[in-house]
Amino acid sequence: MTNYTEFYRRSIEEPDAFWAEQASLIDWKEPFEKVLDYDSPPFARWFVGGVTNLCHNAIDRHIANRADQTALIWVSTETGQEETYSFSDLHAEVQTMAAIILSLGVKKGDRVLIYMPMIPQSVFAMLACSRIGAVHSVVFGGFASSSLASRIEDAKPKLIISADAGCRAGKVIPYKPLLDEALEHVSTRPAKVLIVDRGLAAPSMCEDRDESYTSLRREFLGATVPCEWLESSSPSYTLYTSGTTGTPKAVQRETGGYAVALAASMKHIFCGSPGETFFATSDIGWVVGHSYIVYGPLMAGMGTLLYEGLPTRPDPGIWWRLVEKYKVTAMFSSPTAIRVMKQHENESLFEADLSSLRSLYLAGEPLDAPTGKWIHDALRKPIIDNYWQTESGWPILAVANGVERMNSKFGSPGLPMYGFAVRLIDNETGEQITVPNRKGILIIDGPLPPGCIQTIADDDERFVRTYWSEIHGRYVYSTFDWGVRDEDGYYFILGRADDVINVAGHRLGTREIEESISGHPNVAEVAVVGVSDSLKGQVAVAFITAKDRSAVATGDGASAQKREILKLVERDLGGIARPARVLFVPALPKTRSGKLLRRTIQAICEGREPGNVATIEDPTVLEAIAEAVTAT
Ligand code: PRX
């Protein structure tokens, strides 16, 4: 076995040779001429001239050797359904879906927006888009109409694929009315909408625009649709993520580099082999779903488990029973899910036979050491915390047990992964932090390795402005995360340095929530901050000044308005964005130049010293905030 230090060193110092080797993990229709083109930094083009296809690598290339092996397992504890698709079944379903999409006028390079629950057709749709070279843009099904509308507006999709409804905790959540409402608020509408009717909530269909998947599937069953071969840098998909502004960013990824990055990560980090089963408990609307429910495991020839439901229904042992039933070898989940389980530790959680499971991977938010230790003691398997972002597409920090078996440290996601030239810099001076245990901003020297954000769709300028700075003549990418590194080189992540919050592993922009709340007629000003929470990592708390203070002067008046505000957020953005608390205050703390001091508010909420109060225009405002926080 190689030694990881040497493996990593080569990836940074000899990237061409290193990545050329990794590139042999996938199929290429035409070989690449050049490993990396970094002539116009920070834009990197990997495997220039190479021609390939994601869907081919995920499905077609397995047909010769494992057509009958399991590719997709779908379990819905919401509807009580379980389905298994072999590679050959998946091949057929994806071609049928591809034929349907083509018949609706979509061509190579067109965008297709997918707003779907966790059902097999969502996976078919993603793979079908890749197959024909269309660029999918999956919008998380938990988002409501206003979030959906802003993403449709930005993506200008040729086609939207959606379903009648999703289901959560036994409750049917109709998607089609949310989609119809969103479509009323956009300036350019797609010509076609494809609806998968699960029979949960009869959708009202708009004549000429809405098409039924059920009838088109019948028409195109058995269709043969060849893969569209794409140059390596052709976009494979865009995925929206939140940042500092209220406008979400469409992270665009390439084709060849992404395929190589995923195939390499399946080998070196996730240690997956053909015929095994991978179970990522995320959602296809998030990056983990893209990389490790859909593309990564299939590329590795593994079966992937798609789960619709809660971790606690019908009981908190459900995921572990699925591990036993489907002989899951690697599982990928979030710290919040484990903390939820820990609340049920007295309820015979781990009665299933977990002998197939080799490791549990956790990501998306900080894994606190007690939670990491608890699940480690319960499972007696390696717990692999891994840190990354929608932008990176695959882990930036982890341990690469497929290269060299290394110890994890509780509370740390580990070491820089091959290809990522990770460093810490001082937030004020931009100087590199070389001493251990000193906090800084985690940055990555350009070029980013294959598989990472290529640009923000249609906005190269925003991509450069948002993420990159030139330090000592070199482009560096900011993760916007605080971190420290210990004496052994292990990193610890200390949270975001921007206005992004992380609720139960879901990345949310506080500005988006503020914009929704501002829509309430009695809201004058609002500040939303993330406050640490023992279960969800963070929760959103909204501080509001009212236009008409008399309306919120009484307990009943304030409660009524809080209810209206929460309803508004739920309607605009969805339940996940709903603040845990809404507090009316007389004023919000600002600098003399009028900048809202969200961090000061956050410090007060978390019982920390607010720091720099000298810059605050009126420090007495802080007392009222502290009072509001403790009063309820
Ligand atoms: O703040 C970091 C946190 O989640 C952010 C990225 O979220 P998202 O784009 O949704 O991608 C999630 C991919 C797993 C990061 O900027 N984060 C992610 N993983 C960890 C983490 N924080 C601490 N530890 C982690 N393992």
pLDDT tens, residue by residue, 372-425: 999 999 999 999 999 999 999 999 999 999 999 998 899 999 999 999 999 999
Q: How far is the CA of 84 from the centre of ligand 1 (A)?
A: 31
- Which ligand 1 atom is the nearest neighbour of the CA of 390? 9
Q: Which atom of ligand 1 is nearest to the CA of 286?
A: 10
Within 6 A (CB) of ligand 1 lie: 241, 286-288, 363-367, 385-390, 413, 479, 481, 493, 496, 502, 507
Centre of ligand 1 from the C-alpha of residue 151, in Å: 21
pLDDT, tens digit (0-9, with 9 covering 90-100), for 267-314? 999 999 999 999 999 999 999 999 999 999 999 999 999 999 999 999
Q: What's the pLDDT at 632?
A: 63
pLDDT band at 116 (very low <50, low <70, confident <90, very high): very high
Q: What is the 3-state secondary structure (H, E, C) of 458-502?
A: CCHHHHHHHHEEEECCEEEEEEEEEEEECCCCCEEEEEECCCEEE
Residue 24 CA, chain-centre distance (Å), reads 27
Ligand 1 center–CA 95 separation, angstroms: 34
**φ, ψ dihedrals at 34, nearest 5°:** -145, 135
Q: Which atom of ligand 1 is nearest to the CA of 391?
A: 9
As a whole-number percent, the residues of the chain with pLDDT over 70 amount to 99
How far, in Å, is the centroid of ligand 1 from the Cα of 363? 6
E strands, 3-66, in order: 34-37, 45-48, 51-52
* Alpha helix ranges (H) inside 200-286: 213-220, 256-268
Give the per-residue pLDDT at 609.
83
Pair of tokens at residue 504: 């139960």
Distance 390 CA to ligand 1 centre (A): 8
Q: Which residues, other chains included, contact 273 with Cβ-Cβ below 8 Å and sequence gap of 6+? A: 300, 301, 302
Which of 361, 388, 490 for mutating ligand 1's site (highest number of atoms within 8 Å of CB)? 388
pLDDT band (50, 70, 90) for residue 243:
confident
* Tens digits of residue pLDDT in 88-108: 999 999 999 999 999 999 999
Tell me how far CA of residue 87 lies from CA of 57, 275, 331, 435, in angstroms.
12, 11, 21, 50
Mean pLDDT value across residues 592-598: 85
Q: Coil, helix or strand for 333? A: strand
Q: Whose CA is nearest to atom 15 of ligand 1?
A: 389
Cα of 289 from ligand 1 centre, angstroms = 14
Determine the distance separating the centroid of ligand 1 and the alpha carbon of 362, expressed in angstroms.
10
295 φ, ψ (degrees, to nearest 5): -75, -50
Closest C-alpha residue for ligand 1 atom 11: 389
Q: How far is CA 579 from CA 21, 513, 532, 543, 622, in A?
A: 48, 8, 13, 10, 21
Of all protein residues, whose CA lies closest to atom 8 belonging to ligand 1? 389
Residue 1 scores a pLDDT above 60: no
Mean pLDDT of 146-169: 96
Which residue minimizes the CA distance to atom 10 of ligand 1?
Answer: 507
- When pLDDT is cut at 50, 70 and 90, the band that residue 210 belongs to is very high
Ligand 1: distance of its center to the CA of 116 in Å?
23
Question: Which residue's C-alpha comes closest to atom 5 of ligand 1?
Answer: 389
Q: d(Cα 57, Cα 131) in Å, to the nearest integer?
A: 10
Task: Assign 153 a pLDDT band (cuts: 50, 70, 90).
Answer: very high
Phi first, then psi: give them for residue 331, nearest 5 degrees: -120, 145
Strand partners, 407: none
- Between CA 285 and CA 68 the distance in angstroms is 28
487, 408 contact by CB (below 8 A):
no
Task: Pick the atom of ligand 1 nearest to 395's CA.
Answer: 14
Is residue 176 classed exposed, middle or buried when 0-12, 13-18 and 19+ CB atoms within 10 A define those classes? buried
Note the pLDDT of residue 174. Answer: 96
Residues of the chain above pLDDT 90, percent: 88
Average per-residue pLDDT in the chain? 95
Q: Ligand 1: distance of its center to the CA of 493 in Å? A: 9
Mutate to test the pocket of ligand 1, among 253, 502, 536 (most ligand atoms within 8 A of CB): 502
pLDDT digits (tens, 9 = 90+) for 30-84: 999 999 999 999 999 999 999 999 999 999 999 999 999 999 999 999 999 999 9
Is residue 249 within 8 Å of 456, Cβ to Cβ? Answer: yes
456 contact partners, CB below 8 Å, separation of at least 6: 249, 250, 251, 252, 462, 463, 466
Residue 294, CB half-sphere, CA atoms under 13 Å: how many? Answer: 31
What the chain holds in terms of domains, given with CATH numbers, is 87-223 (3.40.50.980), 504-631 (3.30.300.30)
Residues 6+ apart with CB under 8 A from 434: none
Please tell me the residue having the least CA distance from ligand 1 atom 18: 364
Q: Quick one: which atom of ligand 1 is closest to the CA of 506? A: 10
Q: Which of 481, 485, 490, 499 has the most ligand 1 atoms within 8 A of CB, as the residue to mutate?
A: 481
- The pLDDT value recorded for residue 612 is 67
Considering only CA atoms, give the Rg of the chain. 24
Residue among 574, 582, 572, 571 nearest 522 (CA): 582
Residue nearest atom 24 in ligand 1 by C-alpha distance: 366
